Amino acid sequence: MSPDFSSLVHWILFLPLGAALFIALFLRRAGAVAAWLSTGVAFALAALALRLLTVGVGDTTWHVELAKLGDISLGFGYLIDANARLMLFVVSFVAAWIHLFSVGYMRDDDARGRFFGGLSIFMFSILGIVVADNLLMTFVFWELVGFSSYMLIAHYFDKDYAAEASKKAFIVNRVGDLGFILGIAFCLAHFGTLNFAELGALKPAAGWPWVLGALLMCGFIGKSAQFPLHVWLTDAMAGPTPVSALIHAATMVAAGVYFMARIAFLLTPDLLQLIAVSGAGMAALAGLCALAQTDIKKSLAYSTLAHLGIMGCAIGLGRPDLAVLHMAMHAFFKATLFLGAGSVIHGCHHEQDMLKMGGLARKMPVTTAAFVAATLSNCAVPFLAGWYSKDAILEAAHASNLYLFTLLGLAAVATCLYSARMVRLVFFGPANSEAADHAHESPWTMTAPLVVLGLGFSVAAGFAADALIPAAALARVAEPLRAMTFHATSAATIVGLVALALGALAFRYYGRAAGVDSLRVDLPRFYGVLEFRWMDTVYGWYVDRVQRRLSEFLAFLDLLLINGVAVRWLGAGVPAVLGYLTGRTLHRGQTRLYALSLVVGTLLLAWYFLAR
Amino acid sequence: MEHTTLAHHLLLAGLLFALGLTGVLVRRNLLVVYMCLELMLAATTLAMVAFSRFAHKMDGAVFVFFVITVAAAEVAVGLALIVALYRRRGTIQSDALNLLRD
Amino acid sequence: MPDGLFTFFAALTLGAALLLVLSRNAVTSAMGMILALVGIAADFFLLDAYFLGVLQVLVYAGAVMVLFLFIIMLLDTDDAVGAYPWKTAALGLATFFLLGAGVLWLFHWSGAVSAAPAGATPPEFSANPAEFTTAAKSFGRLLYTKYLLPLEIAGFLLLVALVGVVSLSKDAPEGQA
């Protein structure tokens, strides 16, 4: 271990916290200063992360014990392994460009100080998860991520939908986190340690109990928006677009995948199977649902759900390395897509309805180029970034289970369909509204990130990985990256090419009529099924019918038994009976009589217990 | 120390407790009543420490630690109540506080 | 016979407690209370519970009684002038003597309390956490192991008390003053 390793991680971790505190304390009114401070810190972080990546390649740890309760040691420490290096690079690098984008996007916002403070605290939280070396520290930062995402989603808190969306994200995440903390307690009770390295060294004779993995998985399901706790992700679009980019691309949802990769050794085969099936199923369904969204950000959110499903499936297939690789590639192109959407929304004066856009290719050439590049990467066009990870997962699925492969293939087709639809509706054809007609290209602070992430990384992060990404970050995923070659005859490639062909057809299909959704015209019922929010309806029914009835019943019991029988009846009944027996009321309004009866009663009780 | 036995300490504690209780019963000023209550509490801690010392067990002493903590919290709340009572009723004589009679 | 120091402090404590109970003036009562608490703290020292003795002086005789004195000065209320009703006085005397007699019987005449001496002076610190030791850190050791949950609850209780005091000491609502 090199001597400056831990201090470097200290800097990476606490620099954003310092920035956030400084902004919160002094710069709430000075939005412009806060914006550049936060952005500067983000780029400094990226530089520090690069420096850390050049320091060493092996696993490094650093730990300090904070409290020792009996045999339980609670500590704070870093575990930098290959996964952490890749995640560190992706998070700090992508986030830095998102910060720069935000400078332009939020230029007219009154609460810029709060926004950039929130971004910095978000960076602190997510980096904490990345470097954490034990479950409890992970959990603490996990909750901090929940808090900061709540704060960022609710940026426009005076709008009802934003306030409700942030509340929803927070509460749904708590459901998953309940499992997480129970898992921590379980782990502590059975194995006596929370440290990843120590847990990894343990080899329980009877294998890892499936309960532990299942409980910890709950946290992943909530944070990474896996079925059935995926409902918050689409609503979280209420936040400013850079927040969506940060949450969906680089950080929050990736945290769950990263965490699963870190504790992959705890998962039993049954659990893996479950994750794989639910992930693949969600990938296919969410991809189709994206077809029935007119809001550009919601459509992208479903696309994120689909990719998260693919990552979940990769973990379930026992290939966490592929999941982490896809997480990194997805971070590049999905960040670009969201930033592109942000640029479009900014250019169209906050119009988010895709049906009201159109023809932006001529007015916003840079945005269009980056968006299209990222879309092609998203569709896994061979040799673009997305292809390296997505096709690898498809191959892995094909090798293990045909059903999973079918579902993932469906997801790939759906991806191409909604991508074609999105590009066609937004950038081509005639302008369908006043706002789209008067669209303008965004300033350099917004286009620069688009160029770097979209035209650079979304395209080339696969075949030019060695040039773009530090070697230390690639250690874990280098093998699958190098192993990807183009076999025209492999099943995954065939499915991918068919999907691309279908995407091209969809591009023509959606070009037929302007201002309307062709699918909605042709197959209204199918469209309606896709648009309907099934799980939200189920939760609504559950909360309204089951949970509320139960709580009303409990409230009634409380009123009847506690208030009525135990308190009122005893409180009124006993004095009444005694008063009747003694011929006068006990309530004489004299404190000392109450005190005296208290003493006498206590003495009688003491006598009873002593004499027994 | 050689000649002091457990009984001596318990006697002292018991007498203090009895004095405190007498004060609680006869005094009319709520503040004084409250001080007498605290005296009773202190008497019980004395008994507890004595038991702890003579049984060579640490637990009683640790419990006294908790009693002192709780007593501090209790005093704060109780005095705030008395002040609130004084503000509302203008008196803290227990004889005058007899609304419950009716 | 008990040793001289114990006799002295026991007499001091009881005398101060009498002053507390009997004095008409609330400030004098408070002074008696302080003296009684110091006497109890001295008894803690005689029982080798040095840490608790210091705590008693700091928390009780210091902080708590200062609070009492503040409130006494703030409200400035002595007992109402005039003799105690004979009923009250009789009640008090009866309580004290009955209870005192009970205490004497229970702890002295009944023979239920062992007359064994306290034994050797306890060690300052011992490997066995349950043994009576005098060092402050033996408290800490138990507080953070066996009594961790009560400690957390006590901390929470302090927080609740703090909140309660803040809400109680706000001005009374309109029309109810």
Query: pLDDT, tens digit, for every residue of A359-401?
Result: 777 778 888 888 888 888 888 777 777 788 888 888 888 888 7
Indicate whether C174 pLDDT > 70.
no
What pLDDT is attached to residue A57? Answer: 57
Residue C142 to residue B58, Cβ atoms within 8 A? yes
Distances from the Cα of A558 to the Cαs of A551, A561, A565, A566, A573, in angstroms? 10, 5, 10, 10, 19
Report the length, in residues, of chain A: 612
Indicate the class that CATH gives domain B28-93: mainly alpha
Distances from the Cα of B52 to the Cαs of A366, B10, B12, B49, C86, in angstroms? 80, 12, 16, 5, 41
DSSP letter assigned to residue A246: I
- Whether the pTM exceeds 0.80: the reply is no
pLDDT band, residue A47 (cuts 50/70/90): confident
The CATH number for C49's domain is 1.20.120.1200
C107 reaches A (C-beta below 8 A): no
pLDDT greater at residue A234 or residue A299:
A299
Amino acid identity for residue A178 in this structure: L
pLDDT band, residue A306 (cuts 50/70/90): confident
Contact A393, A314 (CB under 8 A): yes
Rounded average pLDDT over A37-49: 85
Indicate whether C38 pLDDT > 80.
yes
Report the run of H or E that residue C4 belongs to, with start and end.
helix C4-22
What pLDDT is attached to residue C17? Answer: 93
Residue A558 corresponds to which tokens in the numbers above?
Answer: 């409380």
Indicate whether B16 pLDDT > 90.
yes
pLDDT band, residue C11 (cuts 50/70/90): very high
In chain C, residues with a C-beta closer than 8 Å to the C-beta of A592 are 88, 91
pLDDT greater at residue A536 or residue C20:
C20
Instruction: Work out the number of other CB atoms within 10 angstroms of the CB of residue A197.
Output: 15
Task: Measure the CA–CA gap between B12 and C110, rounded to whole angstroms.
Answer: 16
Give the rounded distance of the alpha carbon of A295 from its chain centre. 20
What pLDDT is attached to residue A467? Answer: 66
In chain B, residues with a C-beta closer than 8 Å to the C-beta of A588 are 98, 101
- Closest Cβ–Cβ partner in A587, A589, A592 for B25: A592
Across A95-104, A218-227, A439-448, the highest mean pLDDT is recorded for A95-104
- Closest Cβ–Cβ partner in A589, A595, A599 for B98: A589
What pLDDT is attached to residue C39? Answer: 93
For residues C72 and C5, state if they share a domain. yes
Strand partners, A132: A78
Task: Measure the CA–CA gap between A150 and A168, rounded to whole angstroms.
Answer: 9
Task: Measure the CA–CA gap between A353 and A2, rounded to whole angstroms.
Answer: 53
pLDDT band, residue A37 (cuts 50/70/90): confident
Residue C145 to residue A592, Cβ atoms within 8 A? no
Q: pLDDT digits over B19-61, tens only?
A: 998 888 888 888 888 999 999 999 999 999 999 988 888 888 9
Q: Does residue C148 belong to any structural domain of this protein?
A: yes
Instruction: Work out the number of other CB atoms within 10 angstroms of the CB of residue C15.
Output: 14
Percent of chain A whose predicted confidence (pLDDT) is above 70: 91
Instruction: Work out the number of other CB atoms within 10 angstroms of the CB of residue A483.
Output: 10
Residue C91 to residue A599, Cβ atoms within 8 A? no
DSSP letter assigned to residue A543: I
Beta strands in A197-255 (DSSP E): none
b/e string for A494-510 if b means 16 or more Cβ within 10 A?
ebbeebbebbeebbebb
Main-chain phi, psi angles of A61, to 5 degrees:
-135, 155
pLDDT greater at residue A28 or residue B17:
B17
Give the rounded distance of the alpha carbon of B4 from its chain centre. 25
C85 reaches B (C-beta below 8 A): no
Contact A398, A493 (CB under 8 A): no
Please give the full DSSP string across chain B, using - where no structure is assigned: --S--HHHHHHHHHHHHHHHHHHHHH--BHHHHHHHHHHHHHHHHHHHHHHHHHHTBSHHHHHHHHHHHHHHHHHHHHHHHHHHHHHHHS--BGGG--GGG-
For residues C1 and C73, state if they share a domain. yes
Q: pLDDT digits over C121-155, tens only?
A: 788 777 877 788 888 888 888 888 888 888 999 99
Helix (H, G, I), strand (E, B) or coil at C177: coil
First-last CA distance in chain B: 56
Q: What is the maximum alpha-carbon separation in chain C?
A: 65
Task: Measure the CA–CA gap between A42 and A242, rounded to whole angstroms.
Answer: 14
Task: Measure the CA–CA gap between A120 and A123, rounded to whole angstroms.
Answer: 5
What pLDDT is attached to residue A582? Answer: 64
Distances from the Cα of C140 to the Cαs of A98, B73, C46, C147, in angstroms? 49, 20, 22, 10
Report the run of H or E that residue A202 belongs to, with start and end.
none
CA atoms in the 13 A half-sphere facing the CB of A572: 6
Nearest-by-CA chain A residue for C148:
A69
Amino acid identity for residue C95 in this structure: T
What pLDDT is attached to residue A589? Answer: 61
Contact A280, A371 (CB under 8 A): no
In chain A, residues with a C-beta closer than 8 Å to the C-beta of C144 are 69
What pLDDT is attached to residue A1? Answer: 45
In chain C, residues with a C-beta closer than 8 Å to the C-beta of A610 are none
A291: Cβ–Cβ under 8 A, 6 or more apart, which residues? A414, A417, A418, A421, A519, A527, A530
Distance of residue B25 Cα from the nearest chain A Cα, in angstroms: 5
Calculate the dihedral angle through the C-alpha atoms of A426, A430, A434, A439, rounding to the nearest 10 degrees.
Answer: 60
Distance of residue B49 Cα from the nearest chain A Cα, in angstroms: 20
The complex scores an ipTM of 0.89
Q: What value does the mean pLDDT of chain A take? A: 80
What pLDDT is attached to residue C73? Answer: 86
What pLDDT is attached to residue C176? Answer: 47
Strand partners, A61: A79
* Domain ranges (residues) in chain A: 268-532, 537-611
Residue C158 to residue B69, Cβ atoms within 8 A? yes
Q: Does residue C111 belong to any structural domain of this protein?
A: no
Calculate the dihedral angle through the C-alpha atoms of A449, A455, A458, A461, rounding to the nearest 10 degrees.
Answer: -100
A589 reaches B (C-beta below 8 A): yes
Residue whose C-alpha is closest to residue B61's, from C56, C139, C137: C139
DSSP letter assigned to residue A73: E
A547: Cβ–Cβ under 8 A, 6 or more apart, which residues? none
A554 reaches B (C-beta below 8 A): no
For residues C9 and C70, state if they share a domain. yes
Residue C175 corresponds to which tokens in the numbers above?
Answer: 């029309």
Structural domain range at position C154: 130-171
> Taking CB atoms and an 8 Å cut-off, how many pairs form between chains A and C?
9
Task: Measure the CA–CA gap between A149 and A247, rounded to whole angstroms.
Answer: 8
Task: Measure the CA–CA gap between A263 and A135, rounded to whole angstroms.
Answer: 10
Task: Measure the CA–CA gap between A118 and A149, rounded to whole angstroms.
Answer: 8
DSSP letter assigned to residue A79: E
Task: Measure the CA–CA gap between B89 and B74, rounded to whole angstroms.
Answer: 22
Indicate whether A309 pLDDT > 80.
yes
Q: pLDDT digits over A159-210, tens only?
A: 878 888 888 888 888 888 888 889 888 888 888 778 887 887 777 766 677 8
Q: How many domains does chain C have?
A: 2
Q: pLDDT digits over A480-524, tens only?
A: 766 766 666 677 777 777 888 887 877 777 777 666 677 777 777
Contact A272, A316 (CB under 8 A): yes
- Closest Cβ–Cβ partner in B34, B61, B92 for C52: B61
First-last CA distance in chain C: 58
